[in-house]
Structure 1
Amino acid sequence: MAAKTLLIVAHAPSPNTVRLRDAVLAGAEEGGDGDIDIVMRPPLEAGPDDVLACDGIILGTTENLGYMSGALKDFFDRTYYGVLEEKQGLPYALYIRAGMDGTGTRRAVESIATGLRWTAIQDPVLCRGEWDDDFIARCRELGMLVAAGLGAGVF
């Protein structure tokens, strides 16, 4: 059986968001136990071919003015129609680094994912408010869960 591919598309413009992205990656590597191919791309470099080649995706974004990052929105703008038909049902997960509450960001990403007919694996991981080192553990757990589930054929 061919290895499954997990795509991580994460906007990480600050040292703390880099820590979150790296925690997702570390968790995915651990959860995939070497049986999952993991591809990580910044949103401005990821495109339709990356999505078409994956079996699951983790999206990471900052909350920018109550919305997703412009970089993640750009990713969706460039990939939407190129993957719409072929990737219906794609399992996805989301984490948000929100200085406020993350509600608008969550709603915006979920609206696009619904239009793509992607399947949410779980509720988004919202890392909101002042920085908390627990955010790292929560993002690591997210990566681990998605990779393990993908490897086990759960999604």
Structure 2
Amino acid sequence: MTSKQLLLVAHAPSPNTQKLVDALLQGASHPDIEQVHTRWLPPLRTQPEDVLTADAIILGTTENLGYMSGALKDFFDRCYYPVLEKKQGLPCALFIRAGLDGTGTRRAVESIVTGLRWKWIQEPLTLRGKWQDEFLKQVEELGLSVAAGLEAGIY
């Protein structure tokens, strides 16, 4: 079996959002997952070639003024057209760290993902309100479930 590539494109501007990235990577790198290589790139460093080599993608963003982070928007601006025709059907998931409700952020990302014709593999995970350590477990489970599904050939 050939190794699958899981790409995490997540904006982590604070210690807590970096903890979310680390938890997701920990879940995706569970010892039982042997055929999935997970790689995190901040949105501003992610290039179209990174998306083109991915078998699945997880997006992560903060809620910024009711919208996605500027860094994630920049990623979409640079990568949208170079990957549009080549990565239709790419399995994707999303987590949002929202100080409020995350609705506008979710809607904005869903609109772009719909345009890219990527395939949602689960409902977006919105981590609302004040910081809770439970967020780490939720994001770790997201990483594990996406990596396990990718390895099993579900996506």
Name the TM-score class by shorter chain: over 0.9
- Given that 1:58 and 1:92 are in contact with CA atoms closer than 8 Å, whether structure 2 keeps it comes out as yes
| Count of residue pairs the alignment pairs up | 155
TM-score, structure 2 as length reference:
0.98
The residue number in structure 2 matching 1:48 is: 48
Equivalent residues in 2 for 1:4-153 (5 A)?
Answer: 4-30=4-30, 33-153=33-153
Structural RMSD (CA) = 0.9
SS in 2 for 1:37: strand
Distance 1:121 1:94 in 2: 9
Residue ranges of structure 1 left out of the alignment (5+ in a row): none
Distance 1:22 1:125 in 2: 16
Distance 2:22 2:125 in 1: 15
Q: Percent identity?
A: 65
| Cα drift, residue 31 of structure 1 | 7.0
- Given that 1:4 and 1:35 are in contact with CA atoms closer than 8 Å, whether structure 2 keeps it comes out as yes
Distance 1:31 1:55 in 2: 20
After superposition, what is the alpha-carbon deviation per residue over 1:99-126, rounded to whole angstroms, capped at 9, x for unaligned? 0000000000000000000000111111
| Cα drift, residue 147 of structure 1 | 0.2
**What code does the residue aligned with 2:114 have?**
T
Distance 2:120 2:59 in 1: 11
Distance 1:38 1:129 in 2: 28
- Given that 1:97 and 1:127 are in contact with CA atoms closer than 8 Å, whether structure 2 keeps it comes out as yes
Residue ranges of structure 2 left out of the alignment (5+ in a row): none
- Given that 2:2 and 2:35 are in contact with CA atoms closer than 8 Å, whether structure 1 keeps it comes out as no
Relative distance call for 1:67 and 1:31 in structure 2 (3 A) is farther
Distance 1:34 1:17 in 2: 26
